[in-house]
Amino acid sequence: MKLSLPDTVASQQDLASLISEVHAYAKWASHELIKQKVSVKTGTPQPAISAAASQLIRDWSGGKPLTQTSIDSLLKELDEYKKTAPSMTITLAAVAPNEVKAKLVGWARANLAPNMLVSFQMNRHILGGMVVNYGSHIFDWSFRRKLLSAEKPFHEVFVNV
């Protein structure tokens, strides 16, 4: 089965958190499956997991009952995803709202790679726009770069206004 993460799981840190939640769920599910086999009625409550982790587990099972094999295969697939996923860093002048982050992640996954991981940073010195680091490339669409690379120095333009 092909693993597809929601756009809310964007960075390496988000992925590590998701993997941790799935590990906790797998441990709980393993104990529950054993209890079902030996007909033990008392069970422990399901661990609290995020909506993204819950959705991922539901999608992975495909509506079928979970088995230890399917949970193990999900964990293996998540570990492989973490090792092979390309990543990029987007630097913005201010903290981006979650909607903006989700749109940028969605665009990167649609146009660059479906398993792209995107980390966000903030640097107020770029004044606006964004700087994207992808592999060994840096794409600088910041206002600071525009001002510094202008034909006339900014203070000369400002004096004439």
Q: What's the CA angle centered on 30, arms 27 and 33, to 5 degrees? A: 150
Element (H, E) at 120: strand 117-122
Express each pLDDT in 2-47 by its tens digit. Answer: 787 877 888 889 999 999 999 999 898 888 888 877 877 767 788 8
Query: Three-state DSSP class for 7?
Result: coil
Q: Is residue 22 a contact partner of residue 29, using CB atoms and an 8 Å limit?
A: no
d(CA 146, CA 10): 29
The pTM assigned to this predicted structure is 0.73
Per-residue model confidence as pLDDT tens digits over 96-134 = 898 898 899 989 989 998 889 999 999 999 989 999 999
10, 72, 89 from 132: Cα distances, Å: 15, 35, 6
pLDDT tens for 72-99 read 899 999 999 889 899 999 999 999 898 8
